[in-house]
Chain A
Amino acid sequence: DIQMTQSPSSMSASVGDRVTITCRASQGISNFLAWYQQKPGKAPKLLIYAASTLQSGVPSRFSGSGSGTDFTLTISSLQPEDVATYYCQKYNNAPQTFGQGTRLEIK
C-alpha cells in the first residue's frame, strides 16, 4: 500500500507568515491528493482536491501544488483562525490513506 508522509508533524508561525506543509507519497498518485483542515473537536473540512483545486468557500490564502509523489499546502498569510491540524489524503485507489497530520499553532 502507498504511504503518505507529512512534514513537519507540528509547527508554529506568526500571524501573517507564509506557511508551507509538505506531503510525500511512497509511490506516484498523479494529482489524486486532497488536503483537509480539522479544528479541535470538529469534523474535518475539505480545503483542496486534485492537488491544487480550491474547494468552494475556502479562503484564497490556501493553495496546493504538486503531482506524482510530492505535494505542498501553502497558507499565504496565516490567520488566527487557521490554527488546526492539516491532513493530506491520497484517493487514486483504496486504501485512501491519510497522512499523519500537521499541527499548526500561532506563535
Chain B
Amino acid sequence: EVQLLESGGGLVQPGGSLRLSCASSGFIFSAYAMTWVRQAPGKGLDWVSSLSASGDTSNYADSVKGRFTISRDNSKNTLYLQISGLRAEDTAVYYCAKDRSSGGSCHNFWGQGTLVIVSS
C-alpha cells in the first residue's frame, strides 16, 4: 500500500524558513517523480514543484521560484521542500504527491498534507 506522510509544517513568521518532508513507502520511490501541491484555506489546488525520479530535473511555479527548493533522498525514500522567504500568501496545506511516471506526469497518490501558516 502506497503511503505518503508529510511533516514539518507549522507557524512561521514572514521571511522565515521551514523544511517539509514526505516519507514514502509501498512503492519503489526511486522510480517515480514526486510533486508538491499546496492549497490555501478555502481555495483551489496550486501546483508548486516537481522533481524527476533521479533528482536531476526540477520545475517550480513562478510564485515560488528562487524561494523554494525541492529535493529527494532516494536512499531514505523521502521528498523534501525547503521553503524560505515565506509570505502570508504561502499559507496553505502542502501536499506531497507521487507521479505516475519517472518524469512529469499527473499524481496518482497523495499524502494528507501538512499545514504551513505564515503570520507574525
Which chain A residues have a beta carbon within 8 Å of chain B's beta carbons? 1, 34, 36, 38, 42-46, 49, 55, 85, 87, 89, 91-101
Contacts and interface: CB of A to CB of B under 8 A. Distances in A.
Given A49-B106, A91-B105, A98-B45, A44 B50 contact: no
Interface residues of B, number: 23
Interface of B: 35, 37, 44-47, 50, 59-62, 95, 100, 104-113
Contacts of A42: 112
A93 B62 CA distance: 14
Contacts of A95: 47, 59, 61-62
A94 to B, nearest CB: 4
Contact of A34 (B46, B59, B106): B106
The DSSP consensus for interface residues of chain A is loop
B59 to A, nearest CB: 4
Nearest to B61: A95
Contacts, number: 60
Contact of A98 (B44, B60, B104): B44
B104 to A, nearest CB: 6
Contacts of A55: 108
Of A44, A46, A95, A96, the most chain B CB neighbours within 10 A belong to A96
Given A43-B110, A94-B104, A95-B59, A101 B45 contact: yes
Most chain B beta-carbon contacts within 10 A, residue among A49, A91, A100: A91
A101 B108 contact: no
A87 B44 contact: yes
Contact of B47 (A38, A43, A49, A96): A96
Contacts of A38: 45
